[in-house]
Structure 1
Amino acid sequence: MEGPNLQDEDYIDQHDPHPSEVRDEMEDAHRDGTRGWYPEDTEDDTPIWRYMDLGKFISLIQTSQLWFSHTSKFEDPYEGRYSKTVAEGIQREKWGIEEPLEEDTEFFIEDGADHYVSCWNRKKNQSAALWELYTEGSNGVAVKSTVGELKRAVTGLPEDEIDHQMEFGKVKYHVTGDEARGHYAPIFTKRDIFEFEKEYRAVLTVFDRLEDTDIEEAKIRSGVGIGLEVDLDILINEVYVSPGAGGYLQDVVECIERDYRPAFSIERSTIFDHPLVDSSS
Protein backbone atom coordinates (compact mmCIF):
# COMPACT_ATOMS: atom_id res chain seq x y z
CA MET A 1 0.00 0.00 0.00
CA GLU A 2 1.34 3.37 -0.95
CA GLY A 3 0.70 6.18 1.52
CA PRO A 4 0.61 9.95 1.12
CA ASN A 5 3.58 11.77 -0.35
CA LEU A 6 5.04 13.84 2.45
CA GLN A 7 6.37 16.35 -0.05
CA ASP A 8 2.84 17.08 -1.27
CA GLU A 9 1.07 17.65 2.04
CA ASP A 10 1.70 18.93 5.52
CA TYR A 11 2.31 16.00 7.85
CA ILE A 12 1.15 17.86 10.98
CA ASP A 13 -2.35 17.03 12.24
CA GLN A 14 -4.76 19.82 13.07
CA HIS A 15 -5.44 18.70 16.65
CA ASP A 16 -2.76 19.56 19.15
CA PRO A 17 -2.94 17.82 22.55
CA HIS A 18 -0.68 19.01 25.32
CA PRO A 19 2.80 17.37 25.36
CA SER A 20 2.17 16.00 28.87
CA GLU A 21 -0.54 13.75 27.43
CA VAL A 22 1.75 12.11 24.90
CA ARG A 23 3.50 9.53 27.06
CA ASP A 24 0.29 8.00 28.44
CA GLU A 25 -1.66 7.98 25.19
CA MET A 26 0.88 6.93 22.58
CA GLU A 27 2.22 3.59 23.81
CA ASP A 28 0.24 1.68 21.18
CA ALA A 29 -0.30 4.54 18.72
CA HIS A 30 1.77 6.77 16.46
CA ARG A 31 4.39 8.11 18.82
CA ASP A 32 5.11 11.27 16.88
CA GLY A 33 1.61 12.56 16.10
CA THR A 34 2.28 12.58 12.34
CA ARG A 35 -0.04 11.22 9.70
CA GLY A 36 0.36 7.69 8.44
CA TRP A 37 3.43 7.00 6.33
CA TYR A 38 3.70 3.81 4.32
CA PRO A 39 6.65 2.44 2.35
CA GLU A 40 6.65 2.36 -1.42
CA ASP A 41 6.10 -1.14 -2.74
CA THR A 42 7.24 -2.60 -6.05
CA GLU A 43 6.01 -5.03 -8.71
CA ASP A 44 5.37 -8.61 -7.65
CA ASP A 45 7.81 -10.00 -10.22
CA THR A 46 10.75 -7.96 -8.80
CA PRO A 47 13.64 -10.37 -7.95
CA ILE A 48 14.82 -10.34 -4.33
CA TRP A 49 17.72 -12.09 -2.61
CA ARG A 50 18.47 -13.17 0.94
CA TYR A 51 22.09 -13.97 1.81
CA MET A 52 22.65 -16.23 4.82
CA ASP A 53 25.15 -18.58 6.40
CA LEU A 54 24.66 -22.33 6.10
CA GLY A 55 23.22 -22.72 9.61
CA LYS A 56 20.40 -20.25 8.94
CA PHE A 57 19.65 -21.90 5.61
CA ILE A 58 19.42 -25.34 7.22
CA SER A 59 17.09 -23.90 9.86
CA LEU A 60 14.89 -22.37 7.14
CA ILE A 61 14.59 -25.71 5.34
CA GLN A 62 14.13 -27.89 8.42
CA THR A 63 11.53 -25.69 10.14
CA SER A 64 9.86 -24.04 7.11
CA GLN A 65 10.09 -20.83 9.13
CA LEU A 66 11.52 -17.51 7.92
CA TRP A 67 13.32 -15.62 10.69
CA PHE A 68 12.24 -12.03 11.44
CA SER A 69 14.75 -10.23 13.68
CA HIS A 70 13.70 -7.66 16.27
CA THR A 71 14.98 -4.19 15.35
CA SER A 72 16.86 -3.96 18.64
CA LYS A 73 19.15 -6.76 17.43
CA PHE A 74 20.39 -4.88 14.36
CA GLU A 75 23.95 -3.55 14.43
CA ASP A 76 23.03 -0.08 13.14
CA PRO A 77 22.09 2.04 16.21
CA TYR A 78 19.78 4.13 14.01
CA GLU A 79 17.75 1.08 13.00
CA GLY A 80 14.04 1.68 13.61
CA ARG A 81 14.63 5.07 15.27
CA TYR A 82 14.43 8.72 14.39
CA SER A 83 17.62 10.75 14.46
CA LYS A 84 17.95 13.28 17.28
CA THR A 85 17.46 16.15 14.80
CA VAL A 86 14.12 14.82 13.60
CA ALA A 87 12.94 13.83 17.09
CA GLU A 88 13.58 17.37 18.34
CA GLY A 89 11.95 18.84 15.22
CA ILE A 90 8.76 16.83 15.84
CA GLN A 91 8.59 18.13 19.39
CA ARG A 92 8.99 21.74 18.27
CA GLU A 93 6.66 21.59 15.27
CA LYS A 94 3.99 19.24 16.56
CA TRP A 95 3.98 19.66 20.31
CA GLY A 96 5.19 23.26 20.62
CA ILE A 97 8.20 22.37 22.80
CA GLU A 98 10.75 25.08 22.09
CA GLU A 99 13.57 23.52 24.13
CA PRO A 100 13.21 19.71 24.03
CA LEU A 101 14.66 17.89 27.02
CA GLU A 102 16.94 14.89 26.50
CA GLU A 103 14.50 12.50 28.20
CA ASP A 104 11.66 13.70 25.98
CA THR A 105 13.80 13.37 22.86
CA GLU A 106 14.69 9.81 23.86
CA PHE A 107 10.96 9.00 24.05
CA PHE A 108 10.44 10.17 20.47
CA ILE A 109 13.53 8.35 19.24
CA GLU A 110 12.53 5.04 20.81
CA ASP A 111 9.53 3.07 19.54
CA GLY A 112 7.20 1.35 21.97
CA ALA A 113 5.94 -1.14 19.39
CA ASP A 114 7.73 -4.38 18.60
CA HIS A 115 8.91 -4.60 14.99
CA TYR A 116 10.32 -7.81 13.55
CA VAL A 117 12.02 -7.57 10.15
CA SER A 118 13.02 -9.89 7.30
CA CYS A 119 15.54 -8.11 5.06
CA TRP A 120 16.04 -8.87 1.35
CA ASN A 121 18.15 -7.39 -1.43
CA ARG A 122 16.10 -5.92 -4.29
CA LYS A 123 18.39 -6.54 -7.23
CA LYS A 124 18.17 -8.41 -10.53
CA ASN A 125 21.51 -10.19 -10.10
CA GLN A 126 23.83 -11.22 -7.27
CA SER A 127 25.81 -8.71 -5.21
CA ALA A 128 29.49 -9.34 -4.49
CA ALA A 129 29.35 -6.89 -1.56
CA LEU A 130 26.45 -8.71 0.07
CA TRP A 131 28.09 -12.10 -0.38
CA GLU A 132 30.99 -10.81 1.71
CA LEU A 133 28.82 -8.91 4.20
CA TYR A 134 26.17 -11.48 5.09
CA THR A 135 27.85 -14.87 4.75
CA GLU A 136 30.64 -16.15 6.98
CA GLY A 137 33.66 -16.63 4.73
CA SER A 138 32.68 -19.13 2.07
CA ASN A 139 30.07 -20.80 4.27
CA GLY A 140 26.85 -19.37 2.89
CA VAL A 141 24.09 -19.42 0.33
CA ALA A 142 21.87 -16.90 -1.43
CA VAL A 143 18.16 -17.59 -1.77
CA LYS A 144 16.45 -16.03 -4.78
CA SER A 145 12.73 -15.21 -4.76
CA THR A 146 10.38 -12.44 -5.90
CA VAL A 147 8.35 -9.83 -4.02
CA GLY A 148 5.07 -11.52 -4.90
CA GLU A 149 6.29 -14.96 -3.85
CA LEU A 150 7.53 -13.63 -0.52
CA LYS A 151 4.10 -12.16 0.19
CA ARG A 152 2.30 -15.35 -0.80
CA ALA A 153 4.70 -17.65 1.05
CA VAL A 154 4.50 -16.03 4.51
CA THR A 155 1.70 -17.47 6.62
CA GLY A 156 1.72 -14.81 9.32
CA LEU A 157 0.49 -15.10 12.90
CA PRO A 158 -2.98 -16.31 13.97
CA GLU A 159 -5.08 -13.15 14.07
CA ASP A 160 -7.35 -14.50 16.80
CA GLU A 161 -4.38 -14.98 19.14
CA ILE A 162 -1.94 -12.13 18.48
CA ASP A 163 -2.69 -8.54 17.49
CA HIS A 164 -0.28 -7.78 14.66
CA GLN A 165 0.18 -6.19 11.26
CA MET A 166 2.33 -7.12 8.24
CA GLU A 167 3.78 -4.51 5.91
CA PHE A 168 5.99 -4.89 2.84
CA GLY A 169 8.01 -2.29 0.97
CA LYS A 170 11.26 -0.82 -0.27
CA VAL A 171 13.66 0.85 2.14
CA LYS A 172 14.06 4.57 1.46
CA TYR A 173 17.55 6.00 1.99
CA HIS A 174 18.20 9.45 3.42
CA VAL A 175 20.75 11.85 4.81
CA THR A 176 20.75 11.84 8.62
CA GLY A 177 18.27 14.41 9.89
CA ASP A 178 16.31 14.47 6.64
CA GLU A 179 14.29 11.27 7.03
CA ALA A 180 10.54 10.90 6.53
CA ARG A 181 8.23 11.14 9.53
CA GLY A 182 5.42 8.79 10.46
CA HIS A 183 4.76 5.53 12.26
CA TYR A 184 6.44 3.23 9.70
CA ALA A 185 9.07 5.72 8.53
CA PRO A 186 11.88 4.70 10.92
CA ILE A 187 11.35 1.02 10.03
CA PHE A 188 11.46 1.51 6.27
CA THR A 189 14.17 4.19 6.07
CA LYS A 190 17.94 3.94 6.50
CA ARG A 191 20.91 6.25 6.23
CA ASP A 192 22.29 6.68 2.71
CA ILE A 193 25.55 4.94 3.65
CA PHE A 194 23.55 1.68 3.29
CA GLU A 195 22.09 2.53 -0.11
CA PHE A 196 24.16 -0.19 -1.81
CA GLU A 197 21.97 -2.78 -0.04
CA LYS A 198 18.86 -1.84 -2.11
CA GLU A 199 16.83 -3.36 0.67
CA TYR A 200 13.30 -4.73 0.54
CA ARG A 201 11.61 -5.51 3.85
CA ALA A 202 8.82 -7.59 5.28
CA VAL A 203 7.92 -6.11 8.66
CA LEU A 204 5.81 -7.75 11.33
CA THR A 205 4.56 -5.28 13.95
CA VAL A 206 3.23 -6.89 17.13
CA PHE A 207 0.99 -4.91 19.45
CA ASP A 208 0.58 -7.58 22.14
CA ARG A 209 3.04 -8.37 24.91
CA LEU A 210 4.63 -11.60 23.75
CA GLU A 211 6.06 -14.44 25.78
CA ASP A 212 8.64 -16.86 24.47
CA THR A 213 6.53 -19.64 23.00
CA ASP A 214 5.94 -21.91 20.06
CA ILE A 215 2.59 -21.88 18.34
CA GLU A 216 1.56 -23.82 15.28
CA GLU A 217 2.49 -21.06 12.83
CA ALA A 218 5.52 -19.51 14.56
CA LYS A 219 8.42 -19.72 16.98
CA ILE A 220 8.43 -16.61 19.17
CA ARG A 221 11.43 -15.24 21.04
CA SER A 222 10.12 -11.97 22.43
CA GLY A 223 12.44 -9.04 21.77
CA VAL A 224 14.79 -11.28 19.77
CA GLY A 225 12.97 -12.63 16.75
CA ILE A 226 10.05 -14.59 15.35
CA GLY A 227 10.15 -17.53 12.96
CA LEU A 228 7.11 -17.28 10.69
CA GLU A 229 5.87 -20.31 8.81
CA VAL A 230 6.46 -20.11 5.05
CA ASP A 231 5.70 -22.28 2.04
CA LEU A 232 9.19 -23.09 0.78
CA ASP A 233 7.93 -24.29 -2.61
CA ILE A 234 6.54 -20.78 -3.18
CA LEU A 235 9.31 -18.79 -1.52
CA ILE A 236 12.45 -20.32 -3.02
CA ASN A 237 13.14 -20.19 -6.75
CA GLU A 238 16.87 -20.85 -6.74
CA VAL A 239 19.69 -21.34 -4.26
CA TYR A 240 23.24 -20.23 -5.02
CA VAL A 241 26.16 -21.65 -3.06
CA SER A 242 28.88 -19.17 -2.04
CA PRO A 243 31.30 -18.44 -4.90
CA GLY A 244 34.29 -19.32 -2.74
CA ALA A 245 32.86 -22.54 -1.31
CA GLY A 246 34.40 -25.94 -1.79
CA GLY A 247 32.44 -28.82 -3.22
CA TYR A 248 31.45 -30.02 0.26
CA LEU A 249 29.04 -27.11 0.73
CA GLN A 250 27.15 -27.85 -2.47
CA ASP A 251 27.03 -31.51 -1.37
CA VAL A 252 25.45 -30.44 1.90
CA VAL A 253 22.84 -28.29 0.15
CA GLU A 254 22.06 -31.10 -2.29
CA CYS A 255 21.58 -33.49 0.65
CA ILE A 256 19.12 -31.00 2.14
CA GLU A 257 17.27 -30.85 -1.17
CA ARG A 258 17.14 -34.66 -1.37
CA ASP A 259 15.98 -35.14 2.23
CA TYR A 260 13.40 -32.34 2.37
CA ARG A 261 12.47 -32.23 -1.32
CA PRO A 262 11.75 -28.49 -1.71
CA ALA A 263 11.20 -27.50 -5.34
CA PHE A 264 14.23 -25.30 -5.97
CA SER A 265 17.37 -25.54 -8.07
CA ILE A 266 20.90 -25.36 -6.68
CA GLU A 267 23.86 -23.74 -8.42
CA ARG A 268 27.30 -22.61 -7.34
CA SER A 269 27.78 -18.88 -7.76
CA THR A 270 30.32 -18.15 -10.50
CA ILE A 271 30.71 -14.40 -9.99
CA PHE A 272 34.40 -14.76 -9.04
CA ASP A 273 35.32 -17.44 -11.58
CA HIS A 274 38.17 -16.72 -13.99
CA PRO A 275 36.76 -15.37 -17.27
CA LEU A 276 38.80 -17.87 -19.34
CA VAL A 277 37.69 -20.91 -17.36
CA ASP A 278 34.53 -22.74 -18.38
CA SER A 279 32.85 -23.29 -15.02
CA SER A 280 30.05 -25.35 -16.57
CA SER A 281 32.32 -28.29 -17.41
Structure 2
Amino acid sequence: MYLNNPNIKLPQDPDTIVWKYLDLSKFLDLLLSQKLFMSRSDKFEDQYEGTFSEPTFEEIKKLSTNNPDFLNYYKTHREKVAISSWHINEYESFAMWQIFTQNSEGLAIQSTVKRLQDALVPEKNHKQFIGEVNYIDYKKEYIPFDDLFFPFLFKRKSFQYEREVRIITDVTESTIKLNDGLKINVDISQLIEKIYIHPKSENWYKNLVIQLVTQLGFDFEIEKSDLESDILI
Protein backbone atom coordinates (compact mmCIF):
# COMPACT_ATOMS: atom_id res chain seq x y z
CA MET A 1 0.00 0.00 0.00
CA TYR A 2 1.04 3.60 -0.52
CA LEU A 3 -0.32 6.87 0.81
CA ASN A 4 -2.94 8.58 -1.35
CA ASN A 5 -2.14 12.18 -2.22
CA PRO A 6 -4.88 13.98 -4.19
CA ASN A 7 -2.35 16.56 -5.44
CA ILE A 8 -0.28 13.93 -7.25
CA LYS A 9 -1.55 12.65 -10.58
CA LEU A 10 -1.29 9.15 -12.02
CA PRO A 11 -2.39 7.60 -15.33
CA GLN A 12 -6.18 7.15 -15.25
CA ASP A 13 -5.94 3.47 -16.16
CA PRO A 14 -4.44 1.51 -13.22
CA ASP A 15 -3.43 -1.22 -15.70
CA THR A 16 -1.08 1.17 -17.51
CA ILE A 17 2.08 -0.82 -18.24
CA VAL A 18 5.37 0.34 -16.71
CA TRP A 19 8.92 -0.96 -17.11
CA LYS A 20 12.21 -0.97 -15.23
CA TYR A 21 15.39 -1.80 -17.18
CA LEU A 22 18.32 -3.08 -15.11
CA ASP A 23 21.33 -5.36 -15.10
CA LEU A 24 21.38 -8.90 -13.70
CA SER A 25 23.19 -7.98 -10.46
CA LYS A 26 20.56 -5.36 -9.52
CA PHE A 27 17.77 -7.77 -10.44
CA LEU A 28 19.25 -10.51 -8.22
CA ASP A 29 19.67 -8.03 -5.38
CA LEU A 30 15.96 -7.18 -5.71
CA LEU A 31 14.95 -10.86 -5.53
CA LEU A 32 17.36 -11.83 -2.74
CA SER A 33 16.63 -8.87 -0.48
CA GLN A 34 12.97 -8.51 -1.54
CA LYS A 35 13.66 -4.80 -1.28
CA LEU A 36 13.57 -2.17 -4.03
CA PHE A 37 16.55 0.19 -4.20
CA MET A 38 15.70 3.88 -4.49
CA SER A 39 18.29 6.53 -5.39
CA ARG A 40 18.68 9.69 -3.32
CA SER A 41 17.17 12.49 -5.38
CA ASP A 42 20.32 14.64 -5.55
CA LYS A 43 22.44 11.69 -6.74
CA PHE A 44 20.81 11.49 -10.17
CA GLU A 45 22.77 12.55 -13.27
CA ASP A 46 20.27 15.35 -13.85
CA GLN A 47 21.49 18.19 -11.63
CA TYR A 48 18.03 19.79 -11.79
CA GLU A 49 16.48 16.82 -10.00
CA GLY A 50 14.28 18.05 -7.14
CA THR A 51 14.94 21.71 -7.94
CA PHE A 52 12.55 24.39 -9.18
CA SER A 53 11.99 26.10 -12.50
CA GLU A 54 13.19 29.71 -12.83
CA PRO A 55 9.76 31.39 -12.27
CA THR A 56 9.21 29.32 -9.11
CA PHE A 57 12.73 29.91 -7.84
CA GLU A 58 12.33 33.68 -8.20
CA GLU A 59 9.14 33.54 -6.13
CA ILE A 60 10.78 31.39 -3.44
CA LYS A 61 13.75 33.80 -3.30
CA LYS A 62 11.39 36.71 -2.57
CA LEU A 63 9.68 34.72 0.17
CA SER A 64 13.11 33.88 1.62
CA THR A 65 14.28 37.48 1.90
CA ASN A 66 13.31 37.67 5.55
CA ASN A 67 13.37 33.94 6.16
CA PRO A 68 16.51 32.29 4.71
CA ASP A 69 15.58 28.96 6.30
CA PHE A 70 12.71 28.73 3.82
CA LEU A 71 15.09 28.39 0.86
CA ASN A 72 17.58 26.25 2.77
CA TYR A 73 14.83 23.77 3.61
CA TYR A 74 14.14 23.09 -0.07
CA LYS A 75 17.86 22.62 -0.74
CA THR A 76 18.39 20.12 2.07
CA HIS A 77 15.08 18.34 1.45
CA ARG A 78 16.63 16.72 -1.65
CA GLU A 79 18.89 14.73 0.70
CA LYS A 80 15.81 13.25 2.41
CA VAL A 81 13.99 12.02 -0.70
CA ALA A 82 14.64 8.81 -2.63
CA ILE A 83 13.18 7.81 -6.00
CA SER A 84 12.55 4.66 -8.01
CA SER A 85 11.89 5.41 -11.70
CA TRP A 86 9.61 3.40 -14.01
CA HIS A 87 8.96 3.94 -17.72
CA ILE A 88 5.39 4.12 -19.09
CA ASN A 89 5.06 2.24 -22.37
CA GLU A 90 2.65 -0.31 -23.81
CA TYR A 91 5.65 -2.02 -25.44
CA GLU A 92 9.31 -2.48 -24.56
CA SER A 93 11.58 0.34 -25.70
CA PHE A 94 14.72 -0.06 -27.80
CA ALA A 95 16.00 3.28 -26.48
CA MET A 96 15.54 2.21 -22.86
CA TRP A 97 17.49 -1.00 -23.45
CA GLN A 98 20.38 1.11 -24.77
CA ILE A 99 20.28 3.71 -22.00
CA PHE A 100 19.77 1.56 -18.90
CA THR A 101 21.54 -1.72 -19.70
CA GLN A 102 25.29 -1.57 -20.25
CA ASN A 103 25.66 -4.86 -22.12
CA SER A 104 23.62 -7.74 -23.50
CA GLU A 105 23.13 -9.19 -20.01
CA GLY A 106 20.38 -6.83 -18.94
CA LEU A 107 16.69 -7.46 -18.42
CA ALA A 108 13.44 -5.58 -18.03
CA ILE A 109 10.71 -5.90 -15.42
CA GLN A 110 7.20 -5.38 -16.75
CA SER A 111 4.60 -4.21 -14.24
CA THR A 112 1.57 -1.91 -14.03
CA VAL A 113 0.73 1.20 -12.02
CA LYS A 114 -1.66 -0.82 -9.84
CA ARG A 115 0.99 -3.47 -9.22
CA LEU A 116 3.40 -0.77 -8.04
CA GLN A 117 0.74 0.52 -5.65
CA ASP A 118 -0.08 -2.94 -4.31
CA ALA A 119 3.59 -3.95 -4.00
CA LEU A 120 4.50 -1.18 -1.55
CA VAL A 121 4.64 -2.29 2.07
CA PRO A 122 3.44 0.37 4.58
CA GLU A 123 6.32 1.99 6.44
CA LYS A 124 5.92 3.71 9.81
CA ASN A 125 9.01 5.88 9.51
CA HIS A 126 8.56 7.49 6.12
CA LYS A 127 5.99 8.61 3.56
CA GLN A 128 5.67 6.99 0.15
CA PHE A 129 3.82 8.18 -2.94
CA ILE A 130 3.57 7.22 -6.58
CA GLY A 131 3.24 9.95 -9.20
CA GLU A 132 3.60 10.66 -12.90
CA VAL A 133 6.31 13.12 -13.94
CA ASN A 134 5.40 16.37 -15.73
CA TYR A 135 7.81 17.66 -18.39
CA ILE A 136 8.04 21.44 -18.65
CA ASP A 137 10.18 24.36 -19.83
CA TYR A 138 12.22 25.27 -16.73
CA LYS A 139 12.87 28.79 -18.04
CA LYS A 140 9.22 29.68 -18.52
CA GLU A 141 6.85 27.34 -16.69
CA TYR A 142 5.90 27.40 -13.04
CA ILE A 143 6.21 24.50 -10.56
CA PRO A 144 3.80 24.84 -7.62
CA PHE A 145 5.46 24.45 -4.23
CA ASP A 146 2.45 24.01 -1.97
CA ASP A 147 3.24 20.27 -1.83
CA LEU A 148 6.72 19.09 -0.84
CA PHE A 149 6.65 16.34 -3.47
CA PHE A 150 6.03 18.61 -6.45
CA PRO A 151 9.71 19.43 -7.16
CA PHE A 152 10.31 15.69 -7.63
CA LEU A 153 7.45 15.31 -10.11
CA PHE A 154 8.68 17.82 -12.67
CA LYS A 155 11.54 17.47 -15.14
CA ARG A 156 12.84 19.37 -18.15
CA LYS A 157 11.22 18.71 -21.54
CA SER A 158 14.47 17.19 -22.80
CA PHE A 159 13.69 14.13 -20.62
CA GLN A 160 10.21 13.65 -22.07
CA TYR A 161 11.24 10.38 -23.73
CA GLU A 162 11.46 8.79 -20.24
CA ARG A 163 7.65 8.97 -19.71
CA GLU A 164 8.31 8.41 -16.05
CA VAL A 165 6.23 7.19 -13.14
CA ARG A 166 8.02 7.44 -9.80
CA ILE A 167 7.84 5.84 -6.42
CA ILE A 168 8.94 8.58 -4.02
CA THR A 169 9.99 8.06 -0.41
CA ASP A 170 10.49 10.93 2.05
CA VAL A 171 12.39 10.15 5.26
CA THR A 172 12.25 13.69 6.68
CA GLU A 173 10.18 12.61 9.69
CA SER A 174 12.48 9.69 10.55
CA THR A 175 16.05 9.25 11.77
CA ILE A 176 17.02 7.43 8.55
CA LYS A 177 20.07 8.92 6.86
CA LEU A 178 20.23 8.45 3.11
CA ASN A 179 23.66 7.93 1.59
CA ASP A 180 23.26 6.89 -2.04
CA GLY A 181 19.66 5.88 -1.36
CA LEU A 182 17.67 3.30 0.56
CA LYS A 183 15.96 -0.04 0.07
CA ILE A 184 12.23 -0.30 0.73
CA ASN A 185 10.20 -3.44 1.44
CA VAL A 186 8.12 -4.64 -1.51
CA ASP A 187 5.95 -7.61 -2.39
CA ILE A 188 8.02 -9.05 -5.25
CA SER A 189 5.18 -11.18 -6.63
CA GLN A 190 2.99 -8.07 -6.91
CA LEU A 191 5.76 -5.89 -8.27
CA ILE A 192 6.80 -8.15 -11.16
CA GLU A 193 4.33 -9.30 -13.79
CA LYS A 194 6.79 -10.50 -16.43
CA ILE A 195 10.53 -10.49 -17.17
CA TYR A 196 12.03 -9.71 -20.58
CA ILE A 197 15.59 -10.77 -21.42
CA HIS A 198 17.89 -8.39 -23.33
CA PRO A 199 17.27 -8.59 -27.12
CA LYS A 200 20.97 -9.19 -27.85
CA SER A 201 21.46 -11.87 -25.21
CA GLU A 202 22.20 -15.52 -26.01
CA ASN A 203 20.06 -18.52 -25.07
CA TRP A 204 22.40 -19.57 -22.25
CA TYR A 205 21.72 -16.23 -20.56
CA LYS A 206 17.95 -16.66 -20.73
CA ASN A 207 18.33 -20.19 -19.32
CA LEU A 208 20.52 -18.83 -16.51
CA VAL A 209 17.93 -16.21 -15.54
CA ILE A 210 15.15 -18.84 -15.57
CA GLN A 211 17.26 -21.14 -13.38
CA LEU A 212 18.13 -18.39 -10.88
CA VAL A 213 14.52 -17.19 -10.62
CA THR A 214 13.25 -20.75 -10.13
CA GLN A 215 15.86 -21.57 -7.47
CA LEU A 216 14.85 -18.45 -5.56
CA GLY A 217 11.27 -19.71 -5.48
CA PHE A 218 9.61 -17.40 -8.01
CA ASP A 219 7.63 -18.37 -11.10
CA PHE A 220 7.51 -15.20 -13.19
CA GLU A 221 6.84 -15.49 -16.91
CA ILE A 222 10.21 -14.94 -18.61
CA GLU A 223 10.53 -14.07 -22.30
CA LYS A 224 13.34 -13.13 -24.62
CA SER A 225 12.82 -9.67 -26.11
CA ASP A 226 11.68 -9.95 -29.72
CA LEU A 227 13.29 -6.66 -30.80
CA GLU A 228 16.07 -8.66 -32.45
CA SER A 229 13.90 -11.44 -33.91
CA ASP A 230 14.64 -12.74 -37.38
CA ILE A 231 13.45 -10.66 -40.33
CA LEU A 232 10.78 -12.24 -42.51
CA ILE A 233 12.27 -11.50 -45.94
> Structure 2 regions of 5+ residues with no counterpart?
none
Q: Which has the higher contact order (CA 8 A, sep 6+)?
A: 2
2:170 to 205, 228, 239: 205
2:108 to 134, 142, 145: 142
Q: CA RMSD in A?
A: 2.3
Give TM-score scaled by structure 1 length.
Answer: 0.73
Per-residue Cα deviation, 1:210-230 (whole angstroms, up to 9, x for no partner): 25xxxxxxxxxx231111121
1:53 aligns with: 23
Alignment-mate amino acid for residue 276 of structure 1: L
CA contact (8 A) 1:116 1:205 kept: yes
1:166 aligns with: 128
2:212 to 244, 256, 259: 256
CA contact (8 A) 2:60 2:71 kept: no
Distance 1:67 1:269 in 2: 24
Structure 1 counterpart SS, 2:21: strand
Residues 55 and 179 of structure 1: CA distance in aligned 2, closer, same or farther (over 3 Å): farther
Deviation at 1:2, TM superposition (A): 6.0
1:228 aligns with: 184
CA contact (8 A) 1:72 1:223 kept: no
Select the structure of larger CA radius of gyration. Answer: 1
Aligned length: 223
Per-residue Cα deviation, 1:152-173 (whole angstroms, up to 9, x for no partner): 112142x1xx2x2111111000
Structure 1 counterpart SS, 2:151: coil
Say whether residues 1:76 and 2:46 are aligned partners.
Answer: yes
Alignment identity in percent? 27
CA contact (8 A) 1:80 1:111 kept: no
1:26 aligns with: none
Alignment-mate amino acid for residue 90 of structure 2: K
Per-residue Cα deviation, 1:205-258 (whole angstroms, up to 9, x for no partner): 1112325xxxxxxxxxx2311111211111111100000112232122111122
